[in-house]
Chains A and B, each alone.
Chain A
Amino acid sequence: MSQSFATLVEVRNAIASKQISAVELTRQVLQRIESLDPVLHCYNEVWADRALQVAKEVDQGQRQGELAGVPIALKDNLCTRYGRTTCSSRMLANFKAPYDATVVRKLESAGAVIVGKTNLDEFAMGSSTENSAFGPTRNPWDTDRVPGGSSGGSAAALAASFCYGSIGSDTGGSIRQPASLCGLVGLKPTYGRISRYGLVAFASSLDQIGPFAWTVSDAALLLKVMSGHDPKDSTSAPMDVPDYVSSVDRPVEGLRIGIVKEYQSLPGLDPQVRSAIEQAIRTYEKLGARIVEVSLPNSAYGIAAYYVIAPCEASSNLARYDGVHYGHRTKEPVNDIVELFSKSRAEGFGDEVKRRIMIGTYALSSGYYDAYYVRAQKVRALIKRDFDHAFGFCDVILTPTSPMPAFRIGEKSSDPLSMYLCDIFTVTCNIAALPGISLPCGFTQDAKPLPIGMQLLAPAFGESTLLRVARMFEQATDFHTRRPVLG
């Protein structure tokens, strides 16, 4: 089996120059999935026949575009007319959407070959992909470990070379954290940059779709293809899409990088992560960047606010899964409609989803609304203000992505609170609706070295800056060239 292409752009160019046919490439990818995915479980569904058909159309020139022939994986919470859209939930195990999400339409219009739908924490709730009704996904760097979550399937599928780019969704870190744990570039765009139409909602004011890629340029290309206003999503920004691809190699002059004062003394930060981040800062200094300390005084309340706002919205978004119109319906006898609702939901949802529905329902209840939801929204406003202030002194903010590298399967699954703390560096970005990127900045000393990621944050719609700053680091290092050894 030949795996001679390192990046999405390389593979795209090879197909365009007929160095390899799209069908041949797709077949290679499908073979690799067939032999290795039974262990990793990245995919919930592989679209072998359709992928080959689309690839054939690319080879015959019927499909063109910036992604012509490139095998792409979709997180299984993006609605597709083809196949099922399960959200890794028993509730939607057999759900077939009658429409395509806007991003799916855009990717296919650009010629992408969709390989399949990837595993996730049920309804994107989790940080390890262990909360899947169909079993966990394993990390290609060490199969005893989690790939992160909730977009763990998409991250692991790319890390295992089961595709050349993949799509996830990020509500509190669900793209950046698995990117970090799988040694990838993962980008969460500004809220409103990419249409959410067809993304099964978890927390509507925080959800955003974004790409996984091996390189910053690959991520820039996927971002460019997926971005833009969509009349079907009122929260998508009516703004032009800059050419992220052509600007990515241009370094940022007089770059100022912000380091967050409050994060310096944070307990629970893995020492190897700390040292990789310190090393990354030195690399930027060598590139001529000025390091400035900034303060995000309210970031300490980020996790608390997030775990009020996200469950509140989730409790409402997931109310529709009641077994009446579609989805799982109990086979037990029921006396009335309320029993049909409650039994279907009790059977259809997993524990973490139920936990968040209950938290959200409680927090929105009369008498608690002001104490929880309203207060969390105030914190949200304060966190936004902190960032506005901080970005007066720097172009981007640099933090770890995850406080620790990939942990072992089962290690945190019985302790929801310690799992929630995985999001400590990532949630504020969603709360403030900012763009954030994670990129590889080191590896651990383990026998099976684990990737470490750093996060860069920019002001709203500052994706170009973010990508350029990330690319500066990538050009000075070689972490992005390493691949896990499998099988």
Chain B
Amino acid sequence: MSERKCVSYRVLVGLEIHVQLSTRTKMFTGVVNASGALKAGDTPPEPNTAVDEQVLGLPGVLPVMNKRAVEYAIKTGLALGCKIARFTKWDRKSYYYPDLPKNYQISQYDLPLCYDGIFELITEKGIKKVRIRRAHLEEDAGKLLHEAPGGYPIEGSIVDLNRAGTPLLEIVTEPDFDSPASVSAFAQELQRLVQYLGVSEGQMQLGHMRFEPNINVHITDQNGQVHKTAITEIKNLNSFSVLEKATDYEVRRQIREWEETGSLGRKSTYGWDELKQETFHQRDKEEAHDYRYFPDPDLMPVEVTEEWLTELKNQVGELPSARRERYIRALGLSPTDAAALASDKSTGDFFEQIVSAGVPAKRASTLMEALREMSNERVRKVTELGVTPDHLARIGQLIESGQLAASKEVTRKILDTILNEAAGLATPEQIVQTAQKLGLIQTTDTTAIDAAIEAVLASNPKPLQDYRSGKQTALGALVGMVMKSAKGMNAKLVQERLKQKLG
């Protein structure tokens, strides 16, 4: 038996995220942004075609800043609750690597464009504040390949510079995550955010977002003593599930290493082995490069004026967090529902149109759930399904007036039918017709309901007796029987009338 025992532990994770921005052209030249601007389903261009003399780092070339990329970065910074530097500059980060044509990367060192942010992450345990240390802009490197495209073996290595020069936003958080799940939750929230802002396509499989968690654990042993492991960084994770798995593995590996050897490890860099499903050691941080940063003399410093910043703030409009807050405070939605609706601009707008048609917010939110389900199934955006806010508003009104059951299944039935039959060309009135055709319209005629109740009570004395002798559950059984006896009755009304009757 080991003499060391981890009785309890605290996980501390900070996250570095590289986000490729979706500007039309690259960070420092007019050549097309072949990587960042790629949309889901697009075919990437042939290797080394999205290049020019600047991307190739030929002698005599000079960088020219892409202002749009700076604007995208500022918008993201604003959305992450960051302060925006009024004066910033470009620095050269030097290291030799074959995928880096100039052997330096233009980046930002001591004056990042965005800094000191606080982002509110919605979790099951409530709102969690994630501090953003900085978000700076830089150019992406190319790709070094050790096999030919398609997996064919080659001698030596080959370089594809299509990705080189892509505008890249590096976001660094403080170590504010206490679980692998919360790291992944933040990453997913960030994806929604950059897509909401329209600054990145955010396609994981296209490498638009890459994650590097920094992990360590505070272990409490059987004597109540706390042991802090050294921070390790896992490089280049490009899916949410791998991010979560790798973080989880690394937490356990650190604890296991301490329990088995007593070692707290060394500050080092790890990779993720997808086949073995484990992290592996790459290098110790002591071996880390001296990047010899200095200001790039080829570029002018950037001054962010009040006017420019105001304009960008206006373009960003209401941020998801503010919208979420408004849904909770003014519309009385639960934090989870509010977050789901507010994370995507078009979804939020869609929802608000239903509300402004007179449907209560909570009802509209429930209707949106059905819509999101359909959106996931059909892999289409909510706004691109072919269903309009008017359609949902009509359904909402029918539910409010008691003519439709307030159930997701009923809503889905109507919407699915409409989409299959009218392919998005249905008028709101067709909602009513479809509901009627499907036999979903409920009667609110009390005479008919009373008649049905009478009939059921007459032929079912047992439940009636049970109820009268104090068995409350018997009421439910009776409602069910009434509903079954004649289709299309409003359940709420049936219950009301039945209660009155039994008085």
Contact = CB atoms under 8 A, between A and B. Distances in A.
Contacts of A234: 62-65, 298-300
A79 B104 contact: no
Given A204-B297, A364-B292, A365-B292, A324 B98 contact: yes
B59 A79 contact: yes
**In the complex, which range does the number of interface residues on chain A fall in?**
35 or more
Interface residues of B, number: 28
A312 interface: yes
A319 B94 contact: yes
A79 B61 CA distance: 9
A218 interface: no
Contacts of B98: 322, 324, 337
B107 to A, nearest CB: 13
Contacts of B61: 197-198
Contact of A319 (B60, B96, B293, B299): B96
Contact of A95 (B59, B62, B104): B59
A341 interface: yes
Say what secondary structure dominates the interface of chain A: loop
A200 B60 contact: yes
B103 interface: yes
A227 B290 CA distance: 39
B294 interface: yes
A131 B297 CA distance: 25
A364 B294 contact: yes
B253 to A, nearest CB: 29
A325 interface: yes
B342 to A, nearest CB: 39
Contacts, number: 96
A373 B62 CA distance: 22
A467 interface: no
Nearest to B99: A324
Given A97-B59, A316-B94, A322-B103, A235 B294 contact: no
Contacts of A391: none
A354 to B, nearest CB: 16
Contacts of A95: 59
A393 interface: no
Say what secondary structure dominates the interface of chain B: loop
Given A365-B290, A366-B290, A79 B60 contact: yes
A98 interface: yes
A44 to B, nearest CB: 15
B111 to A, nearest CB: 15
Contacts of A365: 290, 292
Of the candidates A203, A234, A369, the one having the most CB atoms from chain B within 10 angstroms of its own CB is A234
B142 to A, nearest CB: 10
A313 interface: yes
A312 B300 contact: no
A261 interface: no
B402 interface: no
Nearest to A327: B59
A325 B57 contact: yes
Nearest to B57: A320
A88 to B, nearest CB: 13
A383 interface: no
Of the candidates B57, B59, B61, B94, the one having the most CB atoms from chain A within 10 angstroms of its own CB is B59
B58 interface: yes
B60 A197 contact: yes
A92 interface: yes
A82 interface: no
Interface string A86-118: 010000100101110100000000000000000
A101 B60 contact: yes
A1 interface: no
A320 B102 contact: yes
Contacts of B104: 316, 319
Interface string A103-138: 000000000000000000000000000000000000
Contacts of B159: 324-325
A232 interface: yes
B300 A235 contact: yes
A77 B59 CA distance: 9
A373 B96 contact: no
Interface string B90-107: 001010101001111000
Contact of B60 (A198, A325, A326, A364): A198
B297 A205 contact: yes
Given A319-B94, A322-B96, A361-B292, A232 B64 contact: yes
A338 interface: yes
Contacts of A324: 98, 159
Pairs of residues from A and B, 6 with the lowest C-beta to C-beta distance, nearest first: A319-B103, A205-B297, A204-B297, A364-B292, A200-B59, A79-B60
Interface of A: 77-79, 85, 87, 92, 95, 97-99, 101, 196-201, 203-205, 231-235, 312-313, 315-316, 319-320, 322, 324-326, 337-338, 341, 361, 364-366, 369, 373
Interface of B: 53, 56-65, 92, 94, 96, 98, 101-104, 159, 290, 292-294, 297-300
Given A316-B104, A322-B98, 20 more contacts: A79-B59, A79-B60, A101-B60, A197-B61, A200-B59, A205-B297, A231-B64, A234-B65, A234-B298, A235-B297, A235-B298, A313-B297, A316-B92, A316-B94, A316-B292, A320-B57, A322-B96, A341-B96, A365-B290, A365-B292
